[in-house]
């Protein structure tokens, strides 16, 4: 299915901050329809789309046959919705964060039956930040690395899923850094293998991630700030359009962006 093909999506967590944003972004995008929208607790229609009880999801997937389900909810529900997708043969895009390791296994099990794309952040700028951080951390051996993320005061999981992805990236290229230290208090001198992790929660901040690298009398700061949640919703719709019709398997947002870059490259040849 190409990015221009018609796309019908199901949205879980339709009454949540991101669910509402996805429905609004779908309404703005030509050829995209929201065939199913569900929420755990009752909510009024969102952008003119009726929101059904989440308990009806299996029936709705069977009757409406959406091309992709887009999920921004909570870890338990995302795993349950992945099972529903696997049962109904519907590809899944999930941006939910805060999974425990065992829950990721639940998502991966669904990817045996259907394509599953999981991303901790659907902003293109964060994908670029992650590449820049990997490059900088590899190029600056021995430098200290500290990560600070800031989010709105209603965010549940800490540190953010994006922070976790960035930490995985740093640890991959800097094997000497293998201890995540979450904040510091008291007599807490820094040891060489630490990556400090700081989670701030305040007001209505959409999402900020800053990586500080310091050593050799210099500092480098790499920062991404999301201006609004539409950035994530648009990325999730791009991912949904890319995922529809693919083989079962486990995918990430980088697969979507790499495919776009390859297509742009071919067009420029
Ligand atoms: N990957 C990315 O780019 C982004 C990821 N996120 C992630 O998306 C998730 C949702 O964020 P946000 O929209 O701000 O959160 P909200 O709390 O605003 O919305 C969550 C929604 O999911 C529903 N929900 C939560 N838990 C369950 C459950 N156990 N079963 C069924 N429904 C559930 C809620 O329903 P109810 O109202 O009934 O409780 C609500 O509608 C978080 O994990 C967040 O970190 C957020 C932004 C971007
Ligand atoms: O909960 C949020 O709001 C966000 N969650 C994601 C995360 O945990 O990384 C992505 C984004 O930063 C917003």
pLDDT digits (tens, 9 = 90+) for 99-119: 998 999 999 999 999 999 999
Question: Which residue is closest in CA terms to ligand 1's atom 3?
Answer: 121
Return the pLDDT at 60: 98
Please give the structure tokens belonging to residue 166: 């960035």
If one counts the domains in the chain, the total is 2
The answer to whether residue 266 scores a pLDDT higher than 90 is: no
User: In angstroms, rounded to a whole number, what is the distance separating the alpha carbons of residues 35 and 29?
Assistant: 14
Residue 89 lies inside a defined structural domain of this protein: yes
Mutate to test the pocket of ligand 2, among 98, 148, 155 (most ligand atoms within 8 A of CB): 155
Residues 78, 105: contact at Cβ < 8 Å? no
Q: Which of 69-78, 212-221, 256-265 has the lowest average pLDDT? A: 256-265
CA dihedral 256, 257, 262, 263 (to 10 degrees): 70
User: Please, is 219 exposed, middle or buried when counting C-beta atoms within 10 Å of its C-beta (0-12, 13-18, 19+)?
Assistant: exposed
Residue 76 lies in a domain: yes
Mean pLDDT for 59-77 is 98
16 is in an annotated binding site: yes
Q: Is the per-residue pLDDT at 4 higher than 80?
A: no
Q: Which two tokens stand for residue 37?
A: 């929208």
User: How far apart, in whole angstroms, are the C-alpha atoms of residue 15 and residue 170?
Assistant: 35
What is the signed CA dihedral for 92, 223, 201, 123, rounded to 10 degrees?
A: -20
Are residues 207 and 246 part of one domain?
A: no
| pLDDT score of 3 | 60
pLDDT digits (tens, 9 = 90+) for 136-182: 999 999 999 999 999 999 999 999 999 999 999 999 999 999 999 99
Shared domain for 178 and 252, answered yes or no, is no
Catalytic residue numbers read 151, 155
The helix (H) or strand (E) run that includes residue 201 is strand 194-201
β 144-151/194-201 pair status: parallel
Whether residue 147 sits in one domain with residue 87: no
Confirm whether 1 is domain-assigned: no
Assess whether 143 and 233 both reside in one domain.
no
Contact 253, 122 (CB under 8 A): yes
CA-wise closest residue to 209 among 122, 148, 132: 148
If asked whether residues 129 and 176 sit together in one domain, one would say: yes
Same domain, 221 and 234: no
pLDDT at residue 267 above 80?
no
Closest Cα to atom 13, ligand 2: which residue? 207
Q: Does 205 reside within a domain?
A: yes
Quick check: bond before 12 cis, omega within 30? no
* Position 2 in a domain: no
Q: What is the CATH number of the domain that holds 235?
A: 3.40.50.720
Q: Say what the pLDDT of residue 264 is.
A: 75
CB within 8 A of 38, min separation 6: which ones? Answer: 10, 11, 12, 14, 51, 52, 53, 54, 56, 57, 60
The atom of ligand 2 lying closest to the CA of 157 is 8
Asked whether residue 51 is assigned to any structural domain, the reply reads yes
CB 148 within 8 A of CB 210: yes
Reference 253, options 83, 126, 164; nearest CA is 126
Across the strands, what pairs with 222?
Answer: 211
ipTM over 0.95: yes
Going by the DSSP 8-state scheme, the letter that residue 246 receives in this structure is: P
Closest CA to ligand 2's atom 1: 155
3-state secondary structure of 114: coil
Verify that 253 and 158 share a domain, yes or no. no
Q: What is the pLDDT of residue 1?
A: 59
Task: Indicate whether 148 belongs to any domain.
Answer: yes
> In DSSP terms, which residues pair with 218 in a beta bridge?
215
Decide: 44 and 72 in contact? Cβ < 8 Å: no
Q: Measure the CA angle with vertex 98, ends 196 and 194; round to 5°.
A: 15
172 lies in the same domain as 97 = no
- Indicate whether 168 and 246 sit together in one domain: no
Residues 116 and 245 both lie in one domain? yes
Structure tokens at 245: 């019709």
**Do 29 and 57 belong to one domain?**
yes
Residues spanned by the domain of 184: 124-225
């Amino acid at each position: 299915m190409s990015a221009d093909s018609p796309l019908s999506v199901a949205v879980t967590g339709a009454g949540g901050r991101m669910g509402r944003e996805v429905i609004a972004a779908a309404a703005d995008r030509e050829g995209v329809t929201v065939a199913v929208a569900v929420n755990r607790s009752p909510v009024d229609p969102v952008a003119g789309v009726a929101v059904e009880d989440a308990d009806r999801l299996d029936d709705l997937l069977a009757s409406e046959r959406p091309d992709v389900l887009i999920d921004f909810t909570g870890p338990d529900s995302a795993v349950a919705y992945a099972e529903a997708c696997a049962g109904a043969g519907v590809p899944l895009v999930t941006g939910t964060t805060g999974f425990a390791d065992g829950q990721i296994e639940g998502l991966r099990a669904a990817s045996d039956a259907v394509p599953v794309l999981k991303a901790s952040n659907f902003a293109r700028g964060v994908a670029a930040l992650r590449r820049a951080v990997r490059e900088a951390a590899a190029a600056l051996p021995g430098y200290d690395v500290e990560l600070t993320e800031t989010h709105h005061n209603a965010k549940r999981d800490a540190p953010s899923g994006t922070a976790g992805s960035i930490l995985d990236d740093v640890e991959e290229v800097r094997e000497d850094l293998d201890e995540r230290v979450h904040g510091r208090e008291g007599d807490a001198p820094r040891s060489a293998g630490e990556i400090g992790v700081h989670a701030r929660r305040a007001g209505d901040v959409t999402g900020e991630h800053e990586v500080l690298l310091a050593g050799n009398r210099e500092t480098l700061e790499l920062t991404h700030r999301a201006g609004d949640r539409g950035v994530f919703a648009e990325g999730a719709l791009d991912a949904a359009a890319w995922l529809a019709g693919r083989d079962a398997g486990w995918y990430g947002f980088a697969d979507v962006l790499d495919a776009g870059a390859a297509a742009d490259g071919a067009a420029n040849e």
